[in-house]
A and B are shown apart, each in its own frame.
Chain A
Amino acid sequence: MRTYTPRTLAGAAIAFSLFVLTATTLALPGHAEVPATPAAPAADAATPPAAPAAAPAAAAAAPSGLPPLGQEVLAAPDSAKIAEITFVQNCAYCHGNQGSGGKARSLQCRDMKPDYLFETISNGKKRGSLVMPPWKESMDERTRWQLAAYIMSLKNLPSCTK
């Protein structure tokens, strides 16, 4: 039923069924020490333009102690770039363009750990009147790690060095 729009999102080939993936996510061993795997295949040519210049920095920051998929995604040089359009379509409404901040705090120029970002994206957050819904039912695990990579890249925006 929901197939009439062109599929152009980078990473679309990884489209498992949403709920199957969620179940897979829950079954993954947490924080296993696994060597970083090679980068995922490059995204297709439809990758959106104008991603933050900092994607490689996010890849370099990929720490061990994360689930294998998290390590893989964070090590991939294009993860942040792939996630930019996901961020625009799902997150910018509340967090602002390039995470400039909405009612919640800016995501730019902050040194945040990838597992914290992944957990927050997955499970949401409530603080006072602010409510962020959980995204684990709406995005597969890879997409959530890619978003974590994108948000990590925002600490290296040119404005952060001023």
Chain B
Amino acid sequence: MGSVRNFATRAVFGGVLAAFAVSAAPAIAEENPNDWPKYYRDDNAWRYSPLEQINKANVGKLKVAWIHQPGDIQMGLQATPIVVDGVAYYVGPNNNVFAVDGATGKTIWKYKPELDPIVETVFYVAASRGVTVGHGMVYLGSLDGRFIALDQKTGAVKWEKQITDLKSCYGCLFSSPPQLAGDILYGGTTGGDQPIQGKIYAVNAKTGEPAWTFNTINEDGKSWPGDSGKVGGGGAWLPGVYDKKTDSILIGTSNAAPDFFPDGRKGDNLYTATILNIEAKTGKLKWHYQEVPHDTWDYDSPYEIMTIEHEGKELLVHLNKGGFVFVLDKATGKPVNIWQFAQNVNWTSGIDPKTGEIKDRNEPEVGKEKTLCPYLLGVRSWNAAAYNPKTKLWYSNAMEVCNTVVAAPQEVDKVGIAGLYLGVSKLEAVPPPGGKASARLDARDPITGKVKWSVDYELPGLGSVLTTAGGLVFNGDVRGNINAYDADNGKVLWSFNAGSGIRSGPVSYSAGGKQYILVPTGLGSHAPGFMASAFPAIKGLPGGAALVAFTID
């Protein structure tokens, strides 16, 4: 953790803050301010809690209230808990689901599915990013390709549906919770780096009956030559959001495969690396915006899609792994602005902010080593940024890392169920040319990218950021440090070390009249392994899994 850098004068910002504090934000949060009812808390994907009992003045007194341990620790604890009416629902490694009393940490019920043994053989083993709550049920996307609905009160299975077959569709497991869009429950699978044809699956949320399937590989004959689309990757491995007004699902898709060797898939490779607007009722595509046509760098588009009102218009703010933030008109999907977030970008000389044209593409080549920036994990990992309507700032982790790549053909028949379809003969995470791998937490204007403050990190933050009406920003690091920052200037107001790193989504809720900060701790996943060559200090950091609740007495 390092220095704080202020980029605007306090005087100017003070005035701006005062103005924003009274401006009404569009559709802030869901009905009950005490809850964290959805993955991103609301369908604006802000990761913002309107609670302010814990605030700048008292956050220094924050203490552990309770700890809940899920038992298994494989791949760490990656979930974002859901909290409704004082009960926290979360999933630990190996799809173990828990309902926990939010005031005491006592287990109310637990559910352990019997998983098909095939789950032990896949690459993205054990990890799960959460559950979804609605219609009196708790929904899980399972490691063996099922949607499972549990009774919210008891944890008993209400219905379950086999959605994918991992034997014929390698890697087609659900690592993220399926999301609700009214009566529709939908979700995509992990697997963009594997030789699959990724799809988004929708069922009736009340019964589990299939509703529609959206193929993220466009089969119109133009986007994918020959049979390349049959193993073209795609899918959608993170939760989307729902716009109730227009019955629209907004969701981002995975990369095209093989990742770095595109010779067999000449074309735009729709709908990979794309933001989709899908009608929830029918599964029909309303509009799409492909951020990276013919992606050859693993710059997919699955991260959170924020809605922010700006000058009377609803805009989408979306970070692509390639280091750019795409600001789109929510109604049309057309770009309003595209700004560079990563400091080290060399796969393009720039993206036209109005047309989205990617200029001077610097693609991997066969037999030639290139250092390409950012690296395949992106300028940020998958855990989400946060937006605070009071400060009007976007808070996001960032890292500056590149990879050396030599593209190579890869025999698709030889890619087994645990294998990846990357198309490389060399791949290594390295510091930016002439520089050093670095990480930071930024506070920026989400529309223009203007930096308000930035805090250096020794190692990248790999968890989601949380912000609250108490004027706070919470962010964890891979060593297990959890910090509370002043949302206005990045000053550290509170710190706690949990013993193992943060790879999950901290949330806030209120139970029994008290506000809590709930942090799933425990480092895991494959990503720290890949980044170790750029950040050697990450080697050997302990794993774990513990849900830690903090409050003020």
Q: Which single member of A88, A93, A103, A138 contacts B425 (CB below 8 Å)?
A: A88
In angstroms, how far is the closest chain B Cβ from the Cβ of A66? 23
Q: Is the CB of B533 within 8 A of A100?
A: yes
For B416, the chain A residues whose CB sits under 8 A away are 18, 135, 137-139
B140 at interface, CB cutoff 8 A:
no
Q: Is the CB of B426 within 8 A of A129?
A: no
Q: Which single member of B122, B420, B541, B543 contacts A89 (CB below 8 Å)?
A: B420
Interface residues of A in 47-63 (CB under 8 A from B): 48-50
Contact with B along A77-102 (1 / 0, CB 8 A): 00000000100111011111100111
A136 to B367, CA, bound (A): 30
**How big is chain A's contact interface, by range?**
35 or more
B531 nearest CB neighbor, chain A only: A102
For B73, the chain A residues whose CB sits under 8 A away are 128-129
Output the residue of B75, B230, B415 with the most chain A CB within 10 A. Answer: B415
Output the residue of A12, A101, A102 with the most chain B CB within 10 A. Answer: A102
For A131, the chain B residues whose CB sits under 8 A away are 74-75, 125-126
In angstroms, how far is the closest chain B Cβ from the Cβ of A135? 6
- Given the known interface contacts A88-B424, A88-B425, A89-B420, the answer about A94 and B526 at a Cβ–Cβ threshold of 8 Å is yes
- Given the known interface contacts A4-B227, A129-B73, the answer about A97 and B533 at a Cβ–Cβ threshold of 8 Å is yes
B20 at interface, CB cutoff 8 A:
no
Q: Is the CB of B532 within 8 A of A3?
A: no
For B522, the chain A residues whose CB sits under 8 A away are 129
A5 to B411, CA, bound (A): 6
A50 to B533, CA, bound (A): 19
Output the residue of A5, A8, A18, A92 with the most chain B CB within 10 A. Answer: A5
For B75, the chain A residues whose CB sits under 8 A away are 129, 131
Q: Is the CB of A93 within 8 A of B529?
A: yes
Q: Is the CB of B126 within 8 A of A2?
A: no
Q: Is the CB of B544 within 8 A of A12?
A: no
Q: Is the CB of A134 within 8 A of B418?
A: yes
Q: Is the CB of A96 within 8 A of B264?
A: no
Consensus secondary structure, chain B interface: loop
For B70, the chain A residues whose CB sits under 8 A away are none
Contact with A along B410-438 (1 / 0, CB 8 A): 11111111111010111110000000000
A95 to B418, CA, bound (A): 15
Q: Is the CB of B539 within 8 A of A103?
A: yes
B490 at interface, CB cutoff 8 A:
no
Q: Is the CB of B532 within 8 A of A96?
A: yes
For A34, the chain B residues whose CB sits under 8 A away are none
Q: Is the CB of B125 within 8 A of A133?
A: yes
- Given the known interface contacts A48-B425, A97-B426, A137-B121, the answer about A129 and B414 at a Cβ–Cβ threshold of 8 Å is no
Q: Is the CB of B539 within 8 A of A97?
A: no
A32 at interface, CB cutoff 8 A:
no
Interface residues of B in 526-540 (CB under 8 A from A): 526, 528-530, 532-533, 538-540
Contact with A along B121-140 (1 / 0, CB 8 A): 11101100000000000000
How many residue pairs at the A-B interface have CB separations less than 8 Å? 145
A15 to B539, CA, bound (A): 36
A17 nearest CB neighbor, chain B only: B413
In angstroms, how far is the closest chain A Cβ from the Cβ of B425? 5
A124 to B74, CA, bound (A): 13
A118 to B411, CA, bound (A): 22
Contact with A along B108-128 (1 / 0, CB 8 A): 000000000000111101100
- Given the known interface contacts A4-B228, A133-B125, A135-B416, the answer about A97 and B523 at a Cβ–Cβ threshold of 8 Å is no
Q: Is the CB of A102 within 8 A of B424?
A: no
Q: Is the CB of A97 within 8 A of B543?
A: no
For A102, the chain B residues whose CB sits under 8 A away are 526, 528-530, 532-533, 539
Contact with B along A1-27 (1 / 0, CB 8 A): 111111111001001001000000000
Q: Is the CB of B412 within 8 A of A3?
A: yes
In angstroms, how far is the closest chain B Cβ from the Cβ of A56? 21
A129 to B546, CA, bound (A): 12
Q: Is the CB of A92 within 8 A of B428?
A: yes
A126 at interface, CB cutoff 8 A:
yes
For A94, the chain B residues whose CB sits under 8 A away are 526, 529-530
For B415, the chain A residues whose CB sits under 8 A away are 138
B439 at interface, CB cutoff 8 A:
no
B93 nearest CB neighbor, chain A only: A129
A130 at interface, CB cutoff 8 A:
yes
Q: Is the CB of B418 within 8 A of A138?
A: yes
For A40, the chain B residues whose CB sits under 8 A away are none
A42 at interface, CB cutoff 8 A:
no
For A7, the chain B residues whose CB sits under 8 A away are 411
A89 to B419, CA, bound (A): 8
B105 at interface, CB cutoff 8 A:
no
A144 to B428, CA, bound (A): 22
Q: Is the CB of B120 within 8 A of A124?
A: yes
A4 to B224, CA, bound (A): 12
Q: Is the CB of B230 within 8 A of A2?
A: yes
B191 at interface, CB cutoff 8 A:
no
A104 at interface, CB cutoff 8 A:
yes
Q: Is the CB of A89 within 8 A of B74?
A: no
A1 to B121, CA, bound (A): 22
Interface residues of B in 147-204 (CB under 8 A from A): 195
B210 at interface, CB cutoff 8 A:
no
In angstroms, how far is the closest chain B Cβ from the Cβ of A119? 16
In angstroms, how far is the closest chain A Cβ from the Cβ of B474? 22
Q: Is the CB of A4 within 8 A of B264?
A: yes
Contact with A along B494-514 (1 / 0, CB 8 A): 000000000000000000000
In angstroms, how far is the closest chain A Cβ from the Cβ of B50? 34
Return 8 A-B CB contacts under 8 Å, by A number: A2-B231, A5-B410, A6-B411, A89-B410, A92-B428, A129-B73, A131-B126, A137-B416
Residues of A at under 8 Å CB distance from B? 1-9, 12, 15, 18, 48-50, 85, 88-90, 92-97, 100-104, 124, 126, 128-131, 133-135, 137-139
